[in-house]
Structure 1
Amino acid sequence: MIRVLVIRLSSLGDIILTTPVIQALRQSFTDLTINYLVHERFGPLVDHFDPPPDNVILFPPVVGAAELPAFARSLAQADYDLVIDLHNSLRSKVIRRYFPTAELRIYKKPRFKRWLLFYLWLNRFDPEFSVVSEYLRYAEFSALEGEHCPRLFFDIDAAREICQRFGLDQGYLVCVPGAAWPQKSWPKERYIEMFSQRLPSSSEQLVLLGGPQDTICDYIAAALQPGKVVNLKGETGLQEALAVLSRSRLVVGSNTGLVHAGEALGIPAVMILGPTSRETGARTHHPDSRVHEVKLWCRPCSQNGRRRCYRRKQYCLIGISVHQVAESVTSLIGQT
């Protein structure tokens, strides 16, 4: 029996992109146990991996620098044969020091290439760069046959029950307009214009997903036709959001974790990219998904959209028209 520990503590989208490594482990070994270490707030997500790990180990939010060694020692009691660190953060580096006899496979972040790209505008990335491919390469599974895409599952009956609590039937459109950093969000006026044109002439519902801080959802909901919009901003936990996504026809939004989750659940996406790009891990994986982005000398400018735009206007987002995005939405809705 081979005992494997996979480490990726955060964040939502990055954790989803590790699912092909679990697929590769199952494909490569017949007799193994996979434990997955993740931050406590993302534990419900790992339960929906397809295929799932055998056990999910939750990293408590209260573990600081003083408590980390004791936590790592408790992990080491499992005597793992293989530790795959797909985070390579300060905390994961400390943790893996407590596995001296285990084989270590460590994801190397392309920090220097990204620095060149963000600050000198020199792109040294392969045109086909993919974070999923990098995870597989450093986990030493890149030679495996077949395409490994992020995959999640959600029980059909459980999803139906959750959606019924929100008054949702199957076949609605989901929009995730917010983002962890406001620089990644397409302007609210453009979402309003697009849905104002679309919703009155269709029978579909629009569902807005976001956290309590995503006030953009409130602006959009207030501007649209009553009865056509269900604003679930701050109303869902991660489990409920996954259920809502799993029964939708399409998800529209920025490079955010819930858009990646929708794709991994088999739902096509229309992804609107501003300050992030393929080189930062922002890309789609569903074969029917569409990406909208503008080629600019200043883009991408940061890994996750945290950096404030240093130009007069944020051209990477205002350069994406309502017509372009609406055309993709109409086309994909027609296919589903």
Structure 2
Amino acid sequence: MTRPGPVPPAGAAAPRGEDFVLPGTASAAHGGRTARRSRPRVLVLRALGLGDLLTAVPALRALRRHLPGYEVVLAAPERFAGVAASTGCVDRLLPARAPAGRAVPVSLDWPGPVPDLAVDLHGNGPSSHLLLQRLRPRALLAYRHPGTPDVQGPRWRPEEHERERWCRLLHWYGIAADPGDLRIPPGAAASPAPGAVVVHPGADAAARRWPAERFAAVARALRRAGHEVVVTAGAGEERLAASVAARAGLPPAAVVGGRGDVPFDRLVALVARARCVVVGDTGLAHLATALGTPSVVLFGPVAPRLWGPPDLPRHRVLWGQEGDGPARPGDAHGRVPDARLLRVTVADVLAAVRSLPAPDAAAGTADARPDGRPDGWARASS
């Protein structure tokens, strides 16, 4: 097979490792041509949810380190502009989101000349590949897929942790990436409830939503034990959060958010300065991980080895799987709570909260597992 040249044709997949020379660099100049602009641009596609974006932070940071002279443009939902800014590795956000019923945006409103480099951190193709290829980037980094045979990236592994997945993609192209490089700063905003236990009952799908009455029982027990408890809600979750708060005997003021997303700087301040977070497999769990806040995370249809927090003393993961089994035993988008999630009891959650280290001790574990690998978790009682 002929080895690819230093700069692939527009829209082509980049060659691997030592063959890969970034367009826009001195090594990529050929035929007497000079760079088209003083600062080349890399477009990164990750137009998904909050947790998806936070699990991609290690890969985004790797790109920033490897491409110090590039403008890093992230294609993601506009409401995550604050999230992107907090990572310290994104220069500009290109608003992009998939319409209802689709996994990939229909188009990208990319301004100006074609991207010098496009990176697919969205999925394994082919739709995400084709979306980027329509912009005719000078090179594309992506996983291979039979639907886009010109993309010669690494093979997709279905049972791989999300943080490691995107770091492995970059490693394949010779870009060093650390899955443990996921922390974001706590920000300067004041917390509305410093030292509180944050309970988040919501999730995008019912399959990952622990029953409201159980969240209420946890909140009620924690309040009786002397903890301040707040209940957070994303857009459209106001009634759920209000129900949990009322059942727990909390005042209406204990609910944060609901009518719309909580402003990101306020959410960061709340979570960063919380005693701990009790949450399902959703975006707020990943925010707690990114901020180093102790957490208890409840899993159901998807194993924590795919989406769980790092195996650090400050995190507890509860999963009702009986024995070893597949990593995706249920439907993550199902319309009823997953059976494994329902096996997690109120007593399990309260015991996990009691076992968490104090905030000062938890902060000291930040570098205990620099690889960020989620190798262990607690199992729910039968």
Residue of structure 2 in register with 1:237 after alignment: 262
More divergent stretch after superposition (134-143 vs 326-335): 134-143
- Of 169, 176, 179, which aligns to 1:144? 176
Partner Cα distance (1:33, 1:15) in 2: 18
Partner Cα distance (1:43, 1:223) in 2: 35
Q: Which amino acid aligns with 2:183?
A: R
Relative to structure 1, is the Cα distance of residues 278 and 225 closer, same or farther in structure 2, using a 3 angstrom cutoff? Answer: closer
Residue of structure 1 in register with 2:202 after alignment: 178
Could you tell me which runs of 5 or more consecutive residues in structure 2 were left unpaired when the two chains were aligned: 1-38, 146-156, 361-382
User: Mapping of 1:156-171 within 5 angstroms?
Assistant: 156=188, 159-160=189-190, 163=191, 168-171=192-195
- Cα contact 1:249–1:333 (8 A) shared by 2: no
- Cα contact 1:107–1:138 (8 A) shared by 2: yes
Residue of structure 1 in register with 2:234 after alignment: 211
User: Mapping of 1:98-117 within 5 angstroms?
Assistant: 98-100=134-136, 102-107=138-143
More divergent stretch after superposition (78-87 vs 229-238): 229-238
More divergent stretch after superposition (136-145 vs 250-259): 136-145
Q: TM-score, normalised by structure 2?
A: 0.68
Does the alignment pair 1:44 with 2:98? no
What secondary structure is seen at the aligned counterpart in 2 of 1:47?
helix
Q: Which amino acid aligns with 2:58?
A: P
Relative to structure 1, is the Cα distance of residues 282 and 222 closer, same or farther in structure 2, using a 3 angstrom cutoff? Answer: same
| Bigger share in helix | 1
Identity of aligned residues (%): 22
- Cα contact 2:62–2:175 (8 A) shared by 1: no
User: Mapping of 1:290-309 within 5 angstroms?
Assistant: 290-296=316-322, 300-302=328-330, 305-308=332-335
User: Mapping of 1:275-290 within 5 angstroms?
Assistant: 275-278=301-304, 281-285=306-310, 287=312, 288-290=314-316
Quote how far apart the aligned CAs of 1:230 are. Answer: 0.6
- Cα contact 1:23–1:148 (8 A) shared by 2: no
What secondary structure is seen at the aligned counterpart in 1 of 2:233?
coil
User: Which structure has the larger Rg?
Assistant: 2
Relative to structure 1, is the Cα distance of residues 22 and 277 closer, same or farther in structure 2, using a 3 angstrom cutoff? Answer: same
Q: Which amino acid aligns with 2:230?
A: V
Relative to structure 1, is the Cα distance of residues 212 and 59 closer, same or farther in structure 2, using a 3 angstrom cutoff? Answer: closer
- Of 20, 32, 36, which aligns to 2:58? 20
Q: Which amino acid aligns with 1:300?
A: R
Q: Which aligned segments of 4 or more residues in structure 1 are displaced greater than 4 angstroms? A: none
Does the alignment pair 1:29 with 2:67? yes
Residue of structure 1 in register with 2:21 after alignment: none
Quote how far apart the aligned CAs of 1:95 are. Answer: 3.1
Count of matched residue positions in the alignment of Structure 1 and Structure 2: 300
Residue of structure 2 in register with 1:225 after alignment: 249
Could you tell me which runs of 5 or more consecutive residues in structure 1 were left unpaired when the two chains were aligned: 110-123
RMSD across aligned positions (CA): 3.2
List per-residue Cα deviations over 1:135-182 (Å, max 9, x = no partner).
Answer: 1112336873755342333422xx21xx4xxxx242111111111111
Quote how far apart the aligned CAs of 1:80 are. Answer: 2.5
Q: Which amino acid aligns with 1:45?
A: V
Residue of structure 1 in register with 2:161 after alignment: 130
Residue of structure 1 in register with 2:299 after alignment: 273
- Cα contact 1:294–1:316 (8 A) shared by 2: yes
Partner Cα distance (1:19, 1:60) in 2: 18
What secondary structure is seen at the aligned counterpart in 1 of 2:95?
strand
What secondary structure is seen at the aligned counterpart in 1 of 2:171?
coil
What secondary structure is seen at the aligned counterpart in 2 of 1:140?
helix
Quote how far apart the aligned CAs of 1:104 are. Answer: 0.7
